[in-house]
Structure 1
């Protein structure tokens, strides 16, 4: 992608993994995507979306949680910033900011049924299949405690 004057441009996005303590360990709230044109039929973060002009990734995460899950007042913890490429797909260069939160106000629910076929809590040790691949990589790192401040996905020699 290129922007004004041919400069390289990336698309920033913010993701929120709502977590809770379950009987068998930590659980994550995931949505089943539909009608979006991207990874429909895959489980994904309950709240995620583009960071808008003039908005911080933290603000975008709060906004997406409110718009997509109906919760606010999150205690956002940054897990990782992921530089991602899709190998030539229309959305081929991204910077994704992944957050977790164990606390929020409100009861999580499906707010956009045209984009979400289902929403469920899943144990981190028993995630559904399929999960959006780059999100699965982050969830595995959260589960194992191996998340790093910066990660890559889709590049040769990913970290």
Structure 2
């Protein structure tokens, strides 16, 4: 197909917003040639582009157990579920394993030191929030130090709750994951 446009058309093309959807599925190759003040375009046959790979955020959640109790922090000033109780957690950083991330977050958020040998995998959840997240839940029942609120700007309080009597106001995916952990279910999908 061959068509001719003036320079105003080129300016309109330049102002279109491109999104990732423009680059998946059928793709047409368009060649632009400027001859004087006339822009000629040639559209070549469609080809199929490779679909975009799904990218997920990974995060870790610490189930710090003291007997039949689990430690929770009450969120504040985060803009997401403030007032809700949640497990100590955080995102993976570049070049960091999930166990390294858990140990780092435990130290940063609650000031406890954990060794890798004391970390037990409990659950993995594929959560639909934010376009897809993979949350790793690990149980730890041995650590050094007393849990202390080291992020008072984001955490109003730390408290141990009985595992069979969790707080009423929790982030829902966390409540669901704790149920799966209690039922020894290693995997779940939430919100899909």
Q: With structure 2 as the length reference, what TM-score do the two structures score?
A: 0.70
Instruction: Name which of 6, 14, 30 aligns with 2:72.
Output: 30
What residue ranges of structure 1 are gaps of 5+ in the alignment? Answer: none
**Larger helix fraction of residues:** 2
* 8 Å contact from structure 1 (residues 138, 147) kept in 2: no
Q: Which of 163, 170, 175 is equivalent to 1:136?
A: 175
Residue of structure 1 aligned with 2:59, choices 6, 9, 13 = 13
TM-fit CA distance, 1:141: 2.6
Displacement, 1:30? Answer: 0.3
1:53 maps to 2:99: no
Paired residues, number: 141
In angstroms, what is the RMSD of aligned CA positions? 1.5
3-state SS of paired residue (2:105): helix
Cα separation, 2, equivalents of 1:141 and 1:123: 16
Match of 2:84 among 38, 42, 50: 42
Larger Rg: 2
CA distance in 2 between partners of 1:83 and 1:147 (Å): 16
Q: Aligned residue for 1:71?
A: 112
C-alpha separation in 2, matches of 1:142 and 1:152: 13
Contact 1:28/1:122 (8 A) holds in 2: yes
Is 1:84 equivalent to 2:127 in the alignment? yes
Give the alignment partner of residue 134 of structure 2, picking from 84, 87, 95: 95
Structure 2 spans left out of the alignment, 5+ residues: 1-19, 21-50
Residue by residue over 1:83-117, the C-alpha shift from the partner in whole angstroms, topping out at 9 and shown as x without a partner, is: 1102xxxx231000001101101000100000001
TM-score calculated relative to the size of structure 1: 0.84
